[in-house]
Amino acid sequence: MANIQRAILEWYDQNKRNLPWRDSKNPYFIWISEVVLQQTRVEQGAPFFHRLIEAFPSVDALAAATEQEVLNVWKGLGYYSRARNLHKAAQEIITAHSGIFPSEFLALKKLPGVGEYTAAALSSISFNKAIAAVDGNVIRIVSRLLDLSDPVETSQTSRTITEFANEILSPSRPGDFNQAMMDFGSMVCTPKSPSCASCPLASVCLARINNTQHLRPVKKPKKKPINRFLLFKVHLQDGKIRMIQQQKGSIWENLFLFPFDEFSSETAFLAKINQESQVINDRAIHILSHQRLHYAVIMTQEHTPANSEFWFSRDELYDLPTPILVPRILTRVENQLAPLF
């Protein structure tokens, strides 16, 4: 184990990535970076880290903001439940912890949106607690080191990976070691075409020895995404467009979106499009992690009760918290309706 610790840390000291949060032990900055990087690549997430820190430089500032302000700064990063949990957790830190970040793993885990990995990363990097942060990189590295042939999602294999990750963790530099494993998985022990020839762990990697590194980790087949069929309605009046704030339970909860009809089948969806005379956007597909959104956009003059309506100018629309679909649709609207909008 000591050889693995030494090899990983020596590699990290020479090759670690220069990331904007790396030079800080401030738990607020580390927390923001970890939440941003959930389901997001480093290159994409780094600008949003800067945006969030600039808008909310402290946990007090984040807690004091409205949810809409937080969603608006988060706009474009997707998976908006992360932003909502970030806001709720900041408020909990203020009310339940007097504004001081909890340092213990179990206390961190109780915060909204903070799971095992984020709690371990925070407690090790900011507070030097010896707890392995097991993310996708660590799962891949350990499954190759041990040449694990069972799916990593199974309880026994997951437990084996977590136990081994804690065994090899450096007790003197746990935060650096956890970050080293993240970088090592991103730069050397990559999902495809790992750099085994230059890997400092090649001599102790059972998958490398058995030539099974390209087969590890083993994962259960992914569930097929759900197909949804949506017809968005653009209602333009006096230079403003009607938007509706999505309700709790929606994947776009509290975000603003064009009103839409949803169809139970592709046949019904296409039949409706063919009936419409003012189609702005023919059928297109927007892919989410677990859903494929088949959508079209039409002009409409229909009215709904005033209490569900919000009317915004073009400039106001761009300042609203919206899913990425909205600016895409707006671009098409502007191209086709420039004299009106």
Q: What is the DSSP string of 116-139?
A: HHHHHHHHHHHH--------HHHH
Residue 131 to residue 269: CA distance in whole angstroms: 51
Number of other residues whose CB lies within 10 A of the CB of residue 315: 7
Q: Is 281 exposed, middle or buried (0-12, 13-18, 19+ CB in 10 A)?
A: middle
Within 10 angstroms of residue 270's Cβ, the number of other Cβ atoms is 15
Please identify which of the residues 34, 69, 153, 334 carries the catalytic annotation: 34
250: helix, coil or strand? Answer: coil
Q: Catalytic site residue 34?
A: yes
Distance between CA atoms of residues 32 and 87, nearest Å: 11
What is the distance between the alpha carbons of residues 105 and 119, in angstroms, rounded to a whole number? 6
**What's the rounded Cα separation, in Å, for the pair 207 and 214?**
8
Active site residues: 34
